[in-house]
C-alpha cells in the first residue's frame, strides 16, 4: 500500500496575552444580566432603563427609594478596588431627589452613548453591591 504522509510539527511561541497579566473583565451585558437576576432572586424589582455597549459600557445603578428620592452608584475611579477585582462602584449620591439624578444621568448619557442605566426599586435603599463597592 501507499506510504503514510509525514506529520509536520511546529514549535510556536506566542506572546503572553494581557489576560494572564491582569484579571479579565466580565462583559457589561453579562454583568448586568447577573445583577438583575440577583435582584429578582431577592424579590426586588430591577430593570434596564438604558442599554449600553454590551462589551464595555459603563454601568450606573439608581436605587429608587419609592419616596421620590434615590441613590446613585457609578464606576469607581482608577485606584479604587472592590473585593471582586474587575469592577467596583462608589456611591455618587445618597437620598437625592429623583429628578436631580435623572438630570445627571441624562447628562452622562449625552457624554457617553455607551452607558448602561439600571434602576432598582427598594424602600430600604439596598444596592446589593457589597462586595463590589470600592475601597481606597
Domain count, the chain: 1
What whole-number percentage of the chain has pLDDT above 90? 64
Q: Is residue 26 part of a domain?
A: no
The residue segments making up the domain with residue 96 are 46-132
Q: Is residue 82 part of a domain?
A: yes
Per-residue pLDDT reduced to its tens digit, 69-113: 999 999 988 766 655 556 889 999 999 999 999 999 999 999 999
| Average pLDDT over the chain, rounded to an integer | 84
Confidence of residue 4 (pLDDT cuts 50, 70, 90): low
Sheet holding 89-97, edge to edge: 46-50, 116-121, 59-64, 69-75, 89-97
Report d(CA 39, CA 90) in Å as an integer.
18
Per-residue pLDDT reduced to its tens digit, 73-82: 999 887 666 5
CATH code for the domain of 91: 3.40.1530.20
Q: Is residue 41 part of a domain?
A: no
Q: Is residue 106 part of a domain?
A: yes
91 close to 71: Cβ distance less than 8 angstroms: yes
Amino acid at each position: 500500500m501507499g506510504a503514510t504522509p509525514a506529520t509536520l510539527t511546529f514549535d510556536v511561541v506566542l506572546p503572553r496575552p494581557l489576560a494572564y497579566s491582569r484579571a479579565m473583565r466580565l462583559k457589561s451585558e453579562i454583568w448586568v444580566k447577573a445583577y438583575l437576576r440577583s435582584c429578582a432572586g431577592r424579590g426586588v424589582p430591577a430593570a434596564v432603563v438604558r442599554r449600553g455597549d454590551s462589551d464595555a459600557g459603563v454601568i450606573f445603578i439608581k436605587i429608587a427609594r419609592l419616596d421620590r428620592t434615590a441613590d446613585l452608584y457609578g464606576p469607581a475611579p482608577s485606584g479604587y478596588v472592590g473585593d471582586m477585582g474587575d469592577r467596583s462602584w462608589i456611591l455618587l449620591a445618597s437620598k437625592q431627589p429623583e429628578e436631580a439624578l435623572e438630570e445627571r444621568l441624562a447628562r452622562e448619557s449625552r457624554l457617553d452613548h455607551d452607558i448602561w442605566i439600571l434602576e432598582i426599586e427598594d424602600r430600604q435603599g439596598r444596592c446589593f453591591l457589597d462586595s463590589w463597592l470600592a475601597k481606597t
